[in-house]
Amino acid sequence: MDMKATAKKLGLKERYACMTRGLDWETSYQPMDKVYPFDKFEGIRIHDWDKWEDPFRLTMDAYWKYQGEKEKKLYAVIDAFAQNNGHLNVTDARYLNAVKLFIQAVSPLEYMAHRGFAHVGRQFRGAGARVACQMQAVDELRHAQTQIHTISNYNKYYNGMHSWRDWYENVWYLSVPKSFFDDAITAGPFEYIVAVSFAFEYVLTNLLFVPFMSGAAYNGDMSTVTFGFSAQSDESRHMTLGLEAIKFLLEQDAANVPIVQGWLDKWFWRGYRLLTLVGMMMDYMLPKRVMSWKEAWEIYAEQNGGALFKDLARYGIRLPMGWEQACKEKDHISHQAWGTFYNYTGAAAFHTWIPGQDEMAWLSEKYPDSFDKLYRPRLEHWDAQEKAGNRFYNRTLPMLCTTCTIPMLFTEPDDPTKICYRHSEYKGNQYHFCSDGCKHIFDNEPEKYVQALLPPHQIFKGRNFKPGVDPGAPGFDPLAAVLDFYGVEVGRDNFDFKGSEDQKNFAQWSGKGADPGQSR
Amino acid sequence: MSTVFIAFQANEDTRPIVNAILRDNPGAVLEEAPALVKINAEGRLTVRRETVEEELGRPFNLQEMHVNLITITGNIEEDDDQFTLTWAH
Amino acid sequence: MPVKAIKPYEFAPQDALEHFHGKQLLYVGWDEHLMFCSPHTLPLAPEMPFAALVGEVLPAVYGYHPDFARIDWNTVEWLKSGQPWRPEMDKSLAGNGLRHKDVLRLRTPGLNGLQGSCN
């Protein structure tokens, strides 16, 4: 009987090298540039792909093992949630509107991220980068699926979650997340990875997943917090990929530095504008609040982002353009966004409301320099009007920023009483923007952004009516026709929370009463 | 000096990891929020496999952290025995 | 710095005048009245008299605000593309030189929102 000596187990670094090196080859029947047609046109120079090193060194076998464990944990919670009517354990039914916004605006982005990483994972010449992107593509698909599964348990009982896939394609406020990813995925592979892995994932997603998911737990929504943290555990790896990608690009060639800086300027601003929705969710849509948008911004952007850019300064990278303005806006954007949805909740697939007195007191405390002076008067006026049977609904379509496609709701950086208007002329047409950041992005790539699909324009072009609808017919109601085209059920998905089906049902099923979280 | 941090889901799997981190990083500060624990440290934070194994009473693979990790910041240096986060610059 | 692309890259703008069925877009904002969260998009006939914009269109847009009924239209200040501008009430929008996608802002001195809060 032969005694075989067992080979010594490979260490982490050797295992990673075995799984990511020597898997590729120089092609001979076809030129490499034809096999990889997209990784040079952006002007990025790569001299040695082997310098790409994944800090986690996660290999495919370990990946499947740990992802499988995460999935088992998550589905155990989802099953328990469904079996025990977990939906009745949330603080109050207003909270569910944050879940609606999540399935409408965030989950479709997870799917687009999956498509994006599948694409760039094919287009990079280096095997290490391809393996990392391939894992991320699988992660993102998992996120989309687990979010859909989790939220489907709420969809059985509540409005505003049934047609999220159709809404994402057409509804006015969902053009904001949609355009962010569509604009990133239609760029080259290096720009995509800087936009999504670095600017969005590394610099910004902590703001969404950490305080907001902790807030979901605080409001008794165990299933959302579970998928949120399960997704975020992958996100740690994605953020690391983003930082690795940036360092790799900057170390490969000095000529890459200005290109990368330009992308950082652009995608930081786009990502930050997109997060306006998150600020509003944190400050207004969580009945029990963990921290304000302003506090989260100070921790995760100012302190942590500051540390990151200090670390990158050695390569000649500076803070992104617009950083200073974003820091000034932290006192305002959540209030301005909530006011916007209060204006247009008649055309949205979730409800809005006026915060209760105790909630306004919290907002005053968290926003001493802005809330009482600027935002409380409008909320109190709307509240009084609503109680008198005259609830405010803005019935005229908003003007949008061409770049971020958000209504022009943002104010001048140094004067929060004035809307910020910026514009550019291009080939005899005018284009309008909410900020210097969005104008700058347009001015650099006007050929791209003249194609922006702005939902109010789509409506006036007649593109948002069902086939056979005649806008010239007597008594034609354009808003009703648009909502019908969107698939928004008028009187169920939209309008004020007060008097909504969700409010009535939750009160009856949970026994908590119609106003559990409000003292108004 | 910049702050590095690591955050985990608050559960029984992560308690020994958190204890190990607090033992090995004397300046580290524990911050608790609903459903999560976050540990902040100035400039540098290390997770040592051996310390986690002492806390846990069984062999531990550092990559098991992925299951309960929420977020991290800093540059990562990892091998079979330790996982370190730094802001060196 | 134009778009970097692998092929010639040129596409028609999405919101050119010809898409709007004979109307042109006019954006209107009312300064210091942020209760209306943003300026508005109005599709209007170029031949519409400016007086009809003031008398028939704007009341439906802004009438909800208690300040609106108090406006003295003789003292209203207009801005076009951020510059002071004076409309001629009896002329059409086109006759006033308003182009597709122009922005008009109105200022109402003395009326600056709920309790002067710019809301």
In order along its 119 residues, chain C shows pLDDT tens digits of 589 999 999 999 999 999 999 999 999 999 999 999 999 999 999 999 999 999 999 999 999 999 999 999 999 999 999 999 999 999 999 999 999 999 999 999 999 999 999 99
Rounded Cα distance between A108 and A101, Å, is 11
Q: Which of C5, C38, C114 sits opposite A407 (nearest CB)?
A: C38
Residue A225, chain B, CB below 8 Å: the answer is yes
List the chains bordering chain B where 3 or more Cβ pairs fall under 8 Å: A
Residue A433: enclosing H or E segment and its boundaries? strand A429-433
Chain C residues in contact with A339 (beta carbon < 8 A): 34-35, 37
Q: Which of C14, C19, C39 sits opposite A399 (nearest CB)?
A: C39
Closest alpha carbon to A403 in A444, A427, A433, A383: A433
Query: CA geometry: angle at A387 spanning A382 and A389, to 5°?
Result: 95
Local structure of C72: helix, strand or coil: coil
The set of residues, in sequence order, having a beta carbon less than 8 Å from that of A239 and lying 6+ positions away, is A197, A201, A202, A205, B71, B72, B73
Chain A residues in contact with B36 (beta carbon < 8 A): 210, 213-214, 217, 229
Chain A residues in contact with C42 (beta carbon < 8 A): 396
**Mutation choice for C interface testing from A41, A408, A426 by most C CBs within 10 A:** A408
Q: Least CA distance to B74: which residue of chain A?
A: A308
Chain A residues in contact with B74 (beta carbon < 8 A): 307
Rounded Cα distance between C119 and C114, Å, is 5
Rounded Cα distance between C17 and B88, Å, is 56
Res A6: pLDDT:
62
- Shortest CA gap A445–chain B (Å): 33
Contact C38 A397 (CB under 8 A): no
Contact A378 C119 (CB under 8 A): yes
Rounded Cα distance between B44 and B4, Å, is 6
Res A519: pLDDT:
45
Residue A121: enclosing H or E segment and its boundaries? helix A107-123
Res A3: pLDDT:
59
The set of residues, in sequence order, having a beta carbon less than 8 Å from that of A158 and lying 6+ positions away, is A87, A93, A96, A100, A502, A505, A506
**pLDDT under 50 in chain A at which residues?**
519-520
Res A208: pLDDT:
83
List the chains bordering chain C where 3 or more Cβ pairs fall under 8 Å: A
Contact A243 B75 (CB under 8 A): yes
Rounded Cα distance between A347 and A489, Å, is 10
Q: Least CA distance to A453: which residue of chain C?
A: C14
DSSP 8-state secondary structure symbol assigned to residue A156:
T
Contact A398 C38 (CB under 8 A): yes
Contact A398 C14 (CB under 8 A): no
**Residues of A numbered 151-210 whose beta carbons fall under 8 angstroms of chain C's beta carbons: which are they?**
188
Q: Which of A399, A452, A460 sits opposite C43 (nearest CB)?
A: A460
Res A441: pLDDT:
98
- Shortest CA gap A223–chain C (Å): 34
| A429-433 vs A422-426, strand pairing mode | antiparallel
- Shortest CA gap A220–chain C (Å): 32
- Shortest CA gap A251–chain B (Å): 15
Chain A residues in contact with B88 (beta carbon < 8 A): 311
List the chains bordering chain A where 3 or more Cβ pairs fall under 8 Å: B, C
Tell me the angle at which helices A107-123 and A175-185 cross, rounded to the nearest 10 degrees: 0
DSSP 8-state secondary structure symbol assigned to residue B64:
G
**Residues of C numbered 74-113 whose beta carbons fall under 8 angstroms of chain A's beta carbons: which are they?**
81-82, 99-103, 105, 113
Res A520: pLDDT:
43
For tokens 């109005």, the residue is: C42
**Residues of C numbered 7-26 whose beta carbons fall under 8 angstroms of chain A's beta carbons: which are they?**
9-16, 19-21, 23, 25
The count of CB pairs under 8 A between chains A and C is 142
Residue A324: enclosing H or E segment and its boundaries? helix A323-329
Contact A408 C38 (CB under 8 A): yes
The set of residues, in sequence order, having a beta carbon less than 8 Å from that of A423 and lying 6+ positions away, is A430, A431, A432, A433, A439, C81, C103
Half-sphere exposure of A126 (CA within 13 A, CB side): 21
**Mutation choice for A interface testing from C17, C41, C58 by most A CBs within 10 A:** C41
